[in-house]
Structure 1
Amino acid sequence: MKLHYGFDDFKGFDWMAILPIVLPILIVGLILILIALIDLYRHRKVRENILLWTIVILFINTVGPILYFTIGRKGGRA
Structure 2
Amino acid sequence: MPLVEITLVEGRPPHLLRGLIHELHIAVVRALAAPAEAVRVVVREVPPSLWAAGDVTIAEREAARAAGSAADLEEVS
**Relative to total residues, which structure has the larger strand share, 1 or 2?**
2
Q: TM-score, normalised by structure 1?
A: 0.32
**Relative to total residues, which structure has the larger helix share, 1 or 2?**
1
Structure number with greater CO (CA < 8 Å, separation at least 6) is 2
Q: TM-score, normalised by structure 2?
A: 0.32
